[in-house]
């Protein structure tokens, strides 16, 4: 495959891994040297990442890793909550043995990681669990959207999972979600997934803001110029 696509993946991975922090400049020349290619495929990779919202490409002013404001970040988590709950609703309606088994496997892995207190491992297994739910929606387009947003939020999710006791609490929520999906209770599955995701967003916002106010009123209070 062409270099530009490989580079896009590499740069994305580097950002997810935290090698480039929010606000860091992604200099074309440096990246070109680092990967041993010319600026052209680097530019193409950066522009694609920009179009996906992964980084900020400001014309004539270079690319930087996005720095979402606390409000924006909350909006992203809220959107993630809505999309995940949609996946859960559809999964509850359409669950097949295959998807059920995949979720079970992922859940078991989370269990082990949680009881060992291995937050790095739990982070990875948690991702698999959520992806299993996306697939269980049996709507691959929706699953793609969910997966993309999950990736964009992964940096913030990781930080937040380090919080004490959050692992075991997260695991219990997973169990409740699984139960609802298996029972075919669309409404319950949607609600539980929604809360599960949003609590992460709220906790993160708390961390960022250093206070425990009501985040929803923050999101609701902003000027809201869409597009």
Question: Where on the chain is the footprint of DNA (CB under 7 A)?
Answer: 2-4, 25, 27-29, 37-41, 43-44, 59-63
Give, in order, the Cα–Cα distances in Å from 32 to each of 3, 36, 134, 220: 12, 6, 36, 42
Site for a second copy in 155-194 (CB under 8 A): none
- The listed partner (DNA, a second copy, none) that binds 134, CB under 5 to 8 Å by sort, is a second copy
d(CA 44, CA 4): 6
Nearer to a second copy, 94 or 166 (CB): 94
Nearer to DNA, 2 or 165 (CB): 2
- The listed partner (DNA, a second copy, none) that binds 123, CB under 5 to 8 Å by sort, is none
Quote the least distance from Cβ 164 to a second copy, whole Å.
29
Question: Total residues contacting a second copy (rule CB under 8 A)?
Answer: 45
DSSP letter (8 states) at residue 22: T
d(CA 146, CA 176): 20
Pick left, alpha or beta for residue 24 (phi over 0 → left; psi -120 to 50 → alpha; otherwise beta). Answer: beta
Which of 9, 30, 140, 172 is close enough to bind a second copy by CB under 8 A? 140
- The listed partner (DNA, a second copy, none) that binds 61, CB under 5 to 8 Å by sort, is DNA
Structure tokens given for 169:
């609490």
Pick left, alpha or beta for residue 96 (phi over 0 → left; psi -120 to 50 → alpha; otherwise beta). Answer: beta
Q: Is 202 in the site for a second copy (CB under 8 A)?
A: no
- Other residues' Cβ atoms within 10 Å of the Cβ of residue 72: 13
Quote the least distance from Cβ 117 to a second copy, whole Å.
29
Helix%, strand%, coil% for the chain, nearest 5: 75, 5, 20
Structure tokens given for 24:
């860091």
- The listed partner (DNA, a second copy, none) that binds 20, CB under 5 to 8 Å by sort, is none
- The listed partner (a second copy, DNA, none) that binds 41, CB under 5 to 8 Å by sort, is DNA
Maximal CA-CA distance, the chain: 55
Q: Quick check: 87 and 136 in contact, CB under 8 A?
A: yes
Site for a second copy in 25-84 (CB under 8 A): 40, 43-44, 47-52, 59-60, 72, 75-76, 78-79, 82-83
Question: Rounded to the nearest 5 degrees, what angle is found at the Cα of 70, between the Cα atoms of 66 and 75?
Answer: 85
| Residue range at the interface with a second copy (CB under 8 A); choices 19-27, 88-96, 169-177, 195-203 | 88-96
Residues that bind a second copy (CB under 8 A): 1-2, 4-5, 40, 43-44, 47-52, 59-60, 72, 75-76, 78-79, 82-83, 86, 89-90, 94, 131, 134-135, 138-145, 147, 219-220, 222, 224-227
């Amino acid at each position: 495959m062409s270099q530009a696509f490989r580079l896009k993946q590499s740069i994305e991975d580097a950002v997810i891994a935290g090698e480039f922090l929010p606000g860091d400049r992604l200099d074309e020349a440096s990246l070109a040297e680092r990967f041993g290619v010319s600026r052209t495929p680097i530019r193409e990779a950066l522009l694609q990442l920009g179009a996906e919202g992964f980084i900020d490409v400001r014309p004539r002013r270079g690319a930087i890793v996005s720095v979402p404001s606390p409000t924006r970040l909350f909006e992203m988590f809220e959107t993630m909550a809505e999309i995940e709950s949609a996946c859960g609703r559809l999964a509850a309606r359409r669950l097949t043995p295959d998807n059920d088994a995949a979720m079970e496997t992922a859940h078991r892995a989370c269990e082990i990681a949680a009881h060992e207190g291995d937050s790095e491992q739990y982070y990875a297994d948690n991702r698999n669990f959520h992806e299993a739910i996306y697939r269980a929606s049996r709507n691959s387009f929706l699953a793609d959207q969910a997966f993309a947003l999950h990736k964009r939020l992964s940096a913030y999710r990781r930080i937040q999972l380090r919080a004490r006791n959050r692992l075991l609490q997260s695991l219990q929520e997973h169990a409740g979600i699984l139960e609802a999906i298996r029972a075919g209770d669309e409404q319950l599955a949607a609600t539980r997934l929604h809360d599960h995701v949003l609590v992460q967003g709220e906790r993160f916002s708390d961390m960022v803001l250093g206070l425990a106010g009501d985040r929803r009123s923050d999101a609701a209070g902003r000027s809201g110029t869409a597009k």
